[in-house]
Amino acid sequence: MANFNSLADSVFGGLVDKYGENFSIVRTSLPKADIYVTFRTYMSGVFMTSVVAYVASLVMLLFVLRFVAVSFMMEVVYVLFIPFLVGISAMTMMVFYPYQKLTERKKSIETNLPFVLTHMGAVAESGVPPYVIFKLISEFNEYGQVANEMKKIVRNMDNFGLDPLKAVKEVAERTPSDKLKQMLLGFVTTTESGGDVKVFLKNAGDSALFDWRIKRERYLQSLDAYSEFYTGIMIAAPLFIIALFAVMNMIQPTIAGFDILFLVKVSIYGIVPMLNLGFLAFLQGTEVEM
């Protein structure tokens, strides 16, 4: 992997230096996605991977075309467009991968943050120093990416010798979650101003738990609306259409040149499953983790 990155950097590094500003989403996402590669090296790898994908797909296509009888024009079209689409697809996936990983980390952090704040507030009540609080939370892997962020704070203090406030600030600037960033910077401000950290953590935990409850209540209410939509559109409508086709088949066996039985099969085995898959994808996209 190191050799691949070195080769990619030497071949495409100049191209990244020249056009790198067009991929600002990658530059901003890399550190927050926990991908410890420089922007220049990562984008060089993107370009190298897309070229390799293009060449590999071209070679495979030429090999397949030796055994498939197609017209010369179609062969030219396949050779021109299929490898190009493969290369562009590979580039697109790699360009957006850091942002996708950033989004996953942000979701994990904001799902667990209300419980982490409550835990931190309870620990702070005992009067322990901030280092002990961060160390304790970092050992709870159940807290997902929040625990990883706390491990970075502990690492900054243990390995790099930073004081607690500087260690917290460094992590706050690189975390993908604005909510965690605000909490960490609020912790720093409260400490620097001589405020009561225990009160700050308690108030932050109470506020986060309140928002968590409201968010989930709204989601549950939306599920009621989705269930009515599913019943009306995904269940009743297909049954009505199939019954209508059955009646029409007794009157006129074709519609616009299509056999009604063929349309019924397309509806049952094609349209209805696709609609259900689309609805499931929609639910997954709007899902709120409990």
Do 182 and 218 fall within a single domain?
A: no
pLDDT band at 288 (very low <50, low <70, confident <90, very high): low
Supply the pLDDT for residue 41. 93
**pLDDT above 90 (res 152):** yes
Rounded to whole angstroms, how far apart are CA atoms 290 and 285?
14
Do 13 and 90 fall within a single domain?
A: yes
Residue 283 vs residues 12, 234, 273: alpha-carbon distances, Å = 41, 14, 15
Q: What DSSP assignment string belongs to 143-155?
A: GTHHHHHHHHHHH
Most confident among 40-44, 75-79, 197-201 (mean pLDDT): 40-44
Token duo for residue 246: 């059955």
The answer to whether 154 and 168 have CB atoms below 8 angstroms apart is no
Max Cα distance, the chain (Å) = 85
Residue 211 vs residues 79, 103, 150, 225: alpha-carbon distances, Å = 54, 20, 22, 22
Do 170 and 254 fall within a single domain?
A: no
pLDDT band at 176 (very low <50, low <70, confident <90, very high): very high
Do 94 and 132 fall within a single domain?
A: no
Domain that holds residue 146: 108-211
Do 125 and 94 fall within a single domain?
A: no
Do 257 and 232 fall within a single domain?
A: yes
Do 173 and 123 fall within a single domain?
A: yes
pLDDT band at 1 (very low <50, low <70, confident <90, very high): low
Rounded to whole angstroms, how far apart are CA atoms 165 and 190?
11
pLDDT, mean of residues 265-276:
82
Q: How far from the centroid of its chain's Cα atoms is residue 252's Cα? A: 50
R_g over Cα of the chain: 28
Do 133 and 219 fall within a single domain?
A: no
Rounded to whole angstroms, how far apart are CA atoms 57 and 167?
47
Q: How many CB atoms lie within 10 A of CB 275?
A: 16
Do 175 and 226 fall within a single domain?
A: no
- pTM here is 0.76
Do 83 and 28 fall within a single domain?
A: yes
pLDDT digits 0-9 by tens, 6-51: 888 888 989 899 988 899 999 999 999 999 899 999 999 999 999 9
Do 127 and 66 fall within a single domain?
A: no
Query: What region, left, alpha or beta, does residue 256 occupy, with left being phi > 0 and alpha being psi -120 to 50 degrees?
Result: left
pLDDT digits 0-9 by tens, 205-234: 888 888 888 888 888 888 888 888 888 777
Rounded to whole angstroms, how far apart are CA atoms 61 and 221?
51
Q: Closest Cα to residue 61, out of 86, 82, 87?
A: 82
Number of structural domains, the chain? Answer: 3
Give 96-103 contacts, CB < 8 A, sequence gap 24+. 96/25, 98/25, 98/26, 98/29, 98/30, 98/33, 98/35, 98/42, 99/25, 99/26, 99/29, 99/33, 101/29, 101/33, 101/34, 101/35, 102/29, 102/32, 102/33, 102/176, 103/176
Rounded to whole angstroms, how far apart are CA atoms 155 and 161?
9
Token duo for residue 21: 């500003």
Do 17 and 85 fall within a single domain?
A: yes
For residue 229, which phi and psi values (nearest 5 degrees)?
-60, -45
pLDDT, mean of residues 91-110:
94
Its sign, for the CA torsion 233, 238, 244, 245, is positive
Residue where a domain stops, chosen among 103, 134, 155: 103
pLDDT digits 0-9 by tens, 246-262: 787 777 777 767 787 77
